[in-house]
């Protein structure tokens, strides 16, 4: 007759044990013994002890008879909560229904193993088949307030306010090298929200008087161009109403004026002159003429 029981596999040398539950004692003991003999048991601690002390040092014994199969898991959880973490217990999981939840990754039987794509697919399908308990439900206002308060007390960014060590920075850098980042794609609604957020968080531009802006230009720029009727509306916009003595009215960014640039047509003439001088210098040598692909006897005026 099959009776639901709590059992343990006890090491008679040091009295350490592994605890479990079953509705078929004979079959469960046989399964444990076969796995331990072939070094394939899921509990690495028990397997190591079995390999060290030998099969003769372990006994399989019943420690509690449970009234019904429905009460079996609850009875095992009582034993686990009492003994897991004690030096005499080989078990690592606190729950019989989820024996590896909360266990250190090094102790998991699959630690270090590489799963095939077929195995990953089976696990993925199994996870997707599980119903989500939150589907169709809504948080109450009280629950929303508690979640909001918890988030404020515990920022989601783990490193917020902390400084990474140089060693950690190097590890992150090495891990990211060669990793392609997916392009960010916005929906129309997402783009609108992003633009609104940028506008809301943007620092307001302080309007600087034109006189202060012109004062930062090089002397040659201030003396060359006429800024009497110029209009300045911010660093992101061109200064309009500037007058070049050669080419007339034009517009230009303040940053370009600070670099010594100004009228676009004047700039084009300067670049053309520099290019002409460079060409003549290259043509002055035989090697330069060969590179330019021209005849060696051609003369440039």
Domain boundaries, the chain: 5-107, 210-262, 272-301
The DSSP output letter for 253 is: -
The Cα–Cα gap between 202 and 182 comes to: 26
Q: Which of 28, 49, 32 is nearest to 41 (CA)?
A: 32
pLDDT value, residue 153:
59
CA triple 163-168-170, angle to 5 deg: 120
The Cα–Cα gap between 23 and 45 comes to: 24
pLDDT value, residue 156:
52
Structural element, H or E, at residue 119:
helix 117-129
CA-only gyration radius of the chain, Å: 39
Q: Are 66 and 4 in contact (CB under 8 A)?
A: yes
| CA dihedral for 56, 58, 64, 66, sign (positive or negative) | negative
pLDDT value, residue 296:
45
Q: Are 46 and 37 in contact (CB under 8 A)?
A: no
The Cα–Cα gap between 77 and 248 comes to: 90
- CATH class held by domain 5-107: alpha beta
The Cα–Cα gap between 236 and 89 comes to: 70
pLDDT tens for 192-214 read 998 898 888 877 767 788 999 99
The reported pTM is: 0.40
Q: Which of 128, 220, 219, 217 is nearest to 230 (CA)?
A: 217
Which residue shows structure tokens 């140089």? Answer: 166
pLDDT tens for 62-120 read 999 998 888 998 999 899 888 988 889 998 888 877 766 666 777 777 778 888 899 88
Profile the chain (301 residues) by mean pLDDT over runs of 10 residues.
89 94 92 94 91 95 91 90 89 77 71 86 86 80 83 59 83 85 82 88 78 92 92 88 93 91 90 88 83 55 41
**What CA dihedral angle connects 30, 32, 37 and 40, to 10 degrees?**
140
Which positions ≥6 away from 226 have C-beta within 8 Å?
242, 243, 245
């Amino acid at each position: 007759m099959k009776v639901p029981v709590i059992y343990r596999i006890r090491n008679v040398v040091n009295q350490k044990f592994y605890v479990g539950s079953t509705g078929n004692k004979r079959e469960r003991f046989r399964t444990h013994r076969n796995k331990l003999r072939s070094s394939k048991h899921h509990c690495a601690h028990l397997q190591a002890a079995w390999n060290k002390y030998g099969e003769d040092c372990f006994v399989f014994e019943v420690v509690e008879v449970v009234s019904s199969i429905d009460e079996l898991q609850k009875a095992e959880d009582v034993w686990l909560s009492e003994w897991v973490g004690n030096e005499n217990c080989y078990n690592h999981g606190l729950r019989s229904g989820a024996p590896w939840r909360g266990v250190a990754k090094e102790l998991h039987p699959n630690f270090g193993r590489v799963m095939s794509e077929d195995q990953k697919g089976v696990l993925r399908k199994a996870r997707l088949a599980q119903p989500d308990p939150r589907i169709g439900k809504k948080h109450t206002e009280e629950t929303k307030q508690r979640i909001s308060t918890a988030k404020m007390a515990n920022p989601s960014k783990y490193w917020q306010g902390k400084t990474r060590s140089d060693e950690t920075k190097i590890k992150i850098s090495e891990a990211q090298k060669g990793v392609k980042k997916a392009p960010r794609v916005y929906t129309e609604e997402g783009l609108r929200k992003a633009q609104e957020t940028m506008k809301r968080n943007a620092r307001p531009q302080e309007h600087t008087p034109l006189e202060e802006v012109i004062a930062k230009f090089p002397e040659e720029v201030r003396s060359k161009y006429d800024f009497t009727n110029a209009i300045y509306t911010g660093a992101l916009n061109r200064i309009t109403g500037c007058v070049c003595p050669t080419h007339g009215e034009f517009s230009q960014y303040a940053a370009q004026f600070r670099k010594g640039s100004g009228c676009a047509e004047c700039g084009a003439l300067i670049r053309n002159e520099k290019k002409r001088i460079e060409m003549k210098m290259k043509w002055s040598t035989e090697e330069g003429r060969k590179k330019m692909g021209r005849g060696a006897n051609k003369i440039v005026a």
